[in-house]
Amino acid sequence: MNSCRRIACSDWKSGLNVILSRVKPRTNCRQCLQAAPSLSRCQATYARPAPGSDTGEKPRLRAIDLAQEVQQEKTKPQDGAQPATEHAPPSGQQKRLVELKRFTQQLQNVHPNVLAKHLHRGVLYKDKDMVIINKPYGVPVRDECGATSISSVLPVLSKMMDGMKIKSDTQLLPCLRLEKETTGVLLLVRSAEVEKHILNLRKNNQVQRKYWVVTVGVPVPSEGVIDIPIIEREVPGPRPHYKMGLSPLFKMNVVGDGLTKVRGHRQAQPAMTKYRVLDSSNGCSLVELQPFTEVKHQMRVHMALALTCPILGDHKYSHWEKLAPQKLPERIRTRLGLEQSKIRYLPLHILARQLTLPGTKQADVSVTCPLPKYFNQSLSRLRLTLPDEKDDE
């Protein structure tokens, strides 16, 4: 093994030739390993011609030099921007946006076992005939487009409620429809006979269901009953689509001093909704709704088109002629901590608050669902007071 010696920087060219000629490749000499950094520095200096020199040859571009230049460009601050080492703390609007993005995507494509565990933790009531759970936001009750639904995980939920027994003959069936964007009390029955009994009670208006919604605007009058049929209509335009719309049986006279009854449309469905304003503040209202019929999007259509007070986060019925995110006044956006360009992440504020069923041999079954976090935060930001808190004041 040949020994190596250091070369003075004053004679680096000749020293480089001596080292290259005397050092063999793949040597394990400790002195050579120590001299390797000096050798690399000499080679790097030799590869770059001196400034202003005209050698007639193009300087060779090395990968390491290119990587260093790219890194310097990335770390270099732009005009008017802060240096890369200084990170501005996220604003309240950014935090709110990240939170809403995460919320609108949660439980959308979750594993069935995870959803079943979540539903099991959200059981509000159970007996030998029925189970009432707290339905999460954004999860469909029935199977839709292959996405994970509540119906698809009911066999797993049934086993969890029976203690994960190997043999279990019990089953759970969804009863009383609840829309995908609605959260709150959802009734599950243990047999087809119980489901038939519940549906007969609903047909005779013996099942009481109350919803809480946050509306953009204040309904006038503060309480009443909306009795206007609903029909599905096609909305023409650049992006044709279908929406549920009103099909009234009366119209205003030309003079405007009375109503005239018109012929009802064959495809229109009767729809009746009772409403009551619980509180109003900052241009929004907390409204209690009690539907007496079950038409698709009934509460959303009645609030948006009949009372011109669309539900907060209802991006479909806030505009009739187009498909676009809900447009909110600046005052409400400021309260919610959102910009108009990010309103599309705002969830629909409909909560199935209470379900009351008549009892046969015992007292009525009445279950109240707690407010979800996003709903409670919106009430707090808009300074809307709950009825219980208003009574305590």
Number of domains in the chain: 2
Give residue-wise pLDDT tens across range 20-56. Answer: 455 445 544 445 444 444 444 444 444 444 444 455 5
SS3 of residue 367 by DSSP = strand
The reply to whether 57 falls in a domain is: no
Do residues 254 and 307 both lie within one domain? yes
Answer yes or no: do 228 and 239 share one domain.
yes
Domain limits at 323?
207-393
Based on the fold, state whether residues 186 and 254 are members of the same structural domain. Answer: no
Residue 13 lies in a domain: no
Q: What is the pLDDT of residue 107?
A: 58
| Residues 343 and 325: beta-carbon distance below 8 Å | yes
* The pLDDT value given to residue 149: 87
**Alpha-carbon distance 380 to 386, whole Å?**
10
Domain identity same for 380 and 236:
yes
Mean pLDDT, residues 156-160 taken together = 89
| Shared-domain flag, residues 294 and 149 | no
**CATH number for position 222:** 3.30.2350
Judgement on whether residues 154 and 239 belong to the same structural domain of the protein: no
* pLDDT given for residue 3 in this prediction: 47
User: What's the mean per-residue pLDDT of the chain?
Assistant: 80
Is the per-residue pLDDT at 114 higher than 90? no
pLDDT value at residue 361: 61
Give per-residue pLDDT as tens, 67-112: 677 667 656 555 545 444 445 566 666 676 676 666 656 656 677 8
Residue 83 is assigned to a structural domain of this protein: no
Final residue of a structural domain among 140, 169, 204: 204
In this prediction, what percent of the chain has a pLDDT beyond 90?
44
At which of 204, 225, 243 does a domain end? 204
Is residue 308 located within the same domain as residue 382? yes
Residue with more model confidence, 190 or 103: 190
pLDDT at 96: 66
* Sign, Cα dihedral of 252, 269, 358, 149: negative
Q: State whether 105 and 248 are in the same domain.
A: no
| Domain end among 204, 234, 269 | 204
- Are residues 185 and 247 part of one domain? no
The two structure tokens encoding residue 21: 């000629």
175 plus 244 within the same structural domain = no
Residues 229 and 301 reside in one and the same domain: yes
Residue 164 lies in a domain: yes
DSSP 220: S
> Within a domain: residue 114?
yes
pLDDT(118) > 50:
yes
Structure confidence by residue, pLDDT tens digits, 213-254: 999 999 999 999 999 999 999 998 888 889 999 999 888 887
CATH code: domain of residue 200: 3.30.70.580
Q: Which residues pair with 106 in a beta bridge?
A: none
Per-residue pLDDT band for 1 (boundaries 50, 70, 90) equals: very low
pTM of the model: 0.73
Give backbone dihedrals phi and psi of 382, rounded to 5 degrees, phi first: -85, -5
